Amino acid sequence: MSLIDRYVLRQFVGTFLICFLSLTGLYIVFDAFTNMDQFLRCAENEGGLAALMATYYGYHSIGFFDRTAGTITLIAAMFTVTSLQRHNEMTALLSAGISRTRIVMPVIVAAATVTCGAALNRELVIPQCRDELARTSKDLVGDVGRELQPRYDNQTDILLRGRSTYRDRQRIAEPSFRLPPSLDSYGSQLAAENAFYKPPEGNRPGGYLLEGVTRPKDLASLPSLKLDGRPVVIMPRDAPGWLRADQCFVVCQINFDQLTGGRAWREFSSTLTLIAGLRNPSFDCGADVRVAIHRRIVQPFLDITLLFLGLPLVLRRESRNVFIAMGLCMAVSACFSLVVLGFQYLGSIYSVSPALAAWAPLMIFVPMAVGMVDALWD
Q: Given a cut of 90, is residue 21 above it in pLDDT?
A: yes
Give the pLDDT of residue 316: 67
pLDDT level of residue 135 (50, 70, 90 thresholds): confident
* Range picked from 86-95, 144-153, 155-164 for highest mean pLDDT: 155-164
**Considering the domain boundaries, does residue 203 fall inside one?**
yes
Give the pLDDT of residue 227: 87
Percent of the chain whose pLDDT exceeds 70: 95
On whether both 21 and 41 belong to a single domain, the answer is yes
Give the pLDDT of residue 1: 64
On whether both 60 and 160 belong to a single domain, the answer is no
| 325 Cα distance to chain centroid | 30
- Rounded to whole angstroms, how far apart are CA atoms 196 and 190? 14
**Considering the domain boundaries, does residue 278 fall inside one?**
no
On whether both 244 and 219 belong to a single domain, the answer is yes
On whether both 7 and 127 belong to a single domain, the answer is yes
On whether both 254 and 344 belong to a single domain, the answer is no
* Range picked from 140-154, 194-208, 320-334 for highest mean pLDDT: 194-208
On whether both 118 and 160 belong to a single domain, the answer is no
Q: What b/e readout covers 57-87, taking b as 16+ CB neighbours within 10 angstroms? A: bebbbbbbbbebbbbbbbbbbbbbbbbbbee
Q: How many of the other CB atoms lie within 10 Å of CB of 234?
A: 23
pLDDT level of residue 117 (50, 70, 90 thresholds): very high
Q: Given a cut of 90, is residue 322 above it in pLDDT?
A: no
> Which of 221, 287, 282 shows the shortest CA–CA distance to 248?
221
- Which of these ranges, 41-50, 71-80, 218-227, 340-349, has the smallest mean pLDDT? 41-50
On whether both 228 and 304 belong to a single domain, the answer is no
Rounded mean pLDDT, 3-31: 91
Give the pLDDT of residue 321: 62
pLDDT level of residue 23 (50, 70, 90 thresholds): very high
**Considering the domain boundaries, does residue 12 fall inside one?**
yes
Give the pLDDT of residue 73: 92
pLDDT tens-digit readout, 296-315: 999 999 999 998 888 887 77
Q: Given a cut of 80, is residue 326 above it in pLDDT?
A: no
**Considering the domain boundaries, does residue 36 fall inside one?**
yes
* Range picked from 21-25, 36-40, 319-323, 366-370 for highest mean pLDDT: 21-25
Rounded mean pLDDT, 80-87: 82
**Considering the domain boundaries, does residue 223 fall inside one?**
yes
- Dihedrals phi, psi of 244, to nearest 5 degrees: -85, 175
On whether both 220 and 300 belong to a single domain, the answer is no
> Which of 169, 225, 221, 227 shows the shortest CA–CA distance to 195?
169
**Considering the domain boundaries, does residue 297 fall inside one?**
yes
Rounded mean pLDDT, 315-337: 73
Q: Which of 225, 260, 295 is the last residue of a domain?
A: 260
On whether both 164 and 242 belong to a single domain, the answer is yes
On whether both 93 and 155 belong to a single domain, the answer is no
Query: Which 3 state secondary structure label does DSSP give 199?
Result: coil
On whether both 79 and 122 belong to a single domain, the answer is yes
* Structural domains in the chain (count): 2
Query: Which 3 state secondary structure label does DSSP give 149?
Result: coil
Q: Which of 243, 260, 277 is the last residue of a domain?
A: 260
On whether both 162 and 112 belong to a single domain, the answer is no
Q: Given a cut of 70, is residue 375 above it in pLDDT?
A: no
**Considering the domain boundaries, does residue 277 fall inside one?**
no
pLDDT tens-digit readout, 234-288: 999 888 888 888 899 999 999 888 888 667 788 888 999 889 888 888 887 778 8
Q: Which domain holds residue 127?
A: 3-138+287-377
Rounded mean pLDDT, 113-125: 94
Mean of the per-residue pLDDT values for the chain? 86
Q: Given a cut of 60, is residue 319 above it in pLDDT?
A: no
**Considering the domain boundaries, does residue 52 fall inside one?**
yes
Higher model confidence: residue 165 or residue 333? 165
Q: Given a cut of 80, is residue 59 above it in pLDDT?
A: yes
